[in-house]
Amino acid sequence: MKHRPLALLGTMLLGTGLAGCSSSGGQNAGGPTVLDVWLMRDSVSEAFQKEFEAGFEKDHPGIDLKIQIQEWEGIGEKVTAALAGNDAPDVIEVGNTQVAQYAQSGGLTDFSGKVGELGGDFWLEGLAEPGAWEGKQYGIPYYAANRVVIYRTDLFAEAGIDATKIKTREQWLAATEKLNKDGVQGIYLPGQNWFTLAGFVWDEGGDLAVQEGSTWKGALDTPEALRAMDFYQRLQALGKGPKDSDESRPLQAEVVAKGQVAQVIATPGGAGVIAQKNPELQGKLGFFPIPGKTADTPGAVFTGGSDLIVPAAAENQDEAYTFIKELAGDAWQKKLALAMSYVPNKTNLATAVASDPGAATMAVGAANGHATPNTPQWAAVEAKNPIKDYMTAVLIGRDPRAEAAKASQSITTTLNSGS
């Protein structure tokens, strides 16, 4: 699921083609060590990549950095093949929720002893938690992105609503209901936006699935998750979003660009797409964090983003760690956040994006970021995605408890199938 930086929101491995792996460069005869790194498409701009390479090699003249940009499609199989072979790159960027799949094979370097040195006390939980597996830290947080509310400043002004004062979910509902008149949709929220539902579930103290000993159990039928779905249903009813599709069918940006839609839940980059499709909305789009249950805490959000991993078979372990320490370090994190409108990997760096309204709003929400259940089998849940079917069933009037029990059982079966 990548809506620009959010390709990482999904753990489903896209594509079936297996591309050849690039071998590690190793040591040039009498020269610097060649360090092979795989970064993903759109995680860095060409300008940032050039700046980082020049700065890194200046500070570390014994390393010749070779960054290869990889495509998201088919990357899961490509990484799996690399980890199983003897010619793996030295560092690989992966989606934060994909780390468990690779760690399970035993093919990753354990960085547990380096967490303190890397500033782990300040890591975003939504990046650090899925980067760990069975008590060991394999993935080092790289950058994050999450959803915010993008709103029409002109429609809010006409309705007499100050977006900066919307701090709680009940205030949000009241404002949205006020906006929902005279041909304006208070919010465009498709019925299967399950990442948004997940945030409400976490707000209520629940989860999508819970681990009980060595087994997993779907948790959509818990009181917490049922309360979350009830709130989702109330919010969704204040717009004309379809009950049986997600945010990609049709594309949310296109809907907002065409009509009188007051709000949409998306990553900040969506505002640029909206304005591109309808130039009249340029300068009329603002941002605020998804409100929480109480005013003192922003709404929980799914943290999409990337972690950096090192294959256990990589030839240049010390140099790989040096690379990670630099790219995940404070100086380059600040530059990356500004260059790409990302959230830095640490909570104490949030002020680095203060000058970027969308990224700054995203950083507020990121402080309450979460990840999907940390198990290699979660990708299989998303492939079937009973959560989407459950949401549609409730929105068209079926019994929430019965449908939640059905979806939870499907999640339970998939997570414990081992396939």
Tokens of 78: 């490509």
- Which pLDDT score, from 0 to 100, does residue 26 have? 54
The H or E element that residue 1 is part of is none
> Which residue in 43, 37, 70, 30 sits closest to 56, CA to CA?
37
Asked if residues 37 and 64 have their Cβ atoms less than 8 Å apart, the reply is no
Q: Domains, the chain, ranges and CATH?
A: 4-146+303-370 (3.40.190.10), 148-301+375-415 (3.40.190.10)
> Which residue in 387, 379, 416, 97 sits closest to 219, CA to CA?
387
3-state secondary structure of 138: coil
- Which pLDDT score, from 0 to 100, does residue 83 have? 92
Tokens of 141: 């947080």
pTM: 0.82
- Which pLDDT score, from 0 to 100, does residue 20 have? 33
Cα separation, 385 vs 189, in Å, equals: 18
End-to-end, the C-alpha distance of the chain in Å comes to 21
Task: Locate the DSSP E strands across 180-303.
Answer: 209-212, 215-218, 263-266, 285-288, 301-302
3-state secondary structure of 395: helix
- Which pLDDT score, from 0 to 100, does residue 9 have? 37
Report helix, strand and coil shares of the chain as percent, to nearest 5.
45, 20, 40
Cα separation, 199 vs 195, in Å, equals: 7
Dihedral angle, C-alpha 386, 389, 394, 395, nearest 10 ° = 140
Give the chain's residues under pLDDT 50: 1-25, 419
Tokens of 193: 């936006």
Q: Beta partners for 370?
A: 302
- Which pLDDT score, from 0 to 100, does residue 27 have? 54
Burial class (CB in 10 A: 0-12, 13-18, 19+), 223: exposed
- Which pLDDT score, from 0 to 100, does residue 248 have? 85
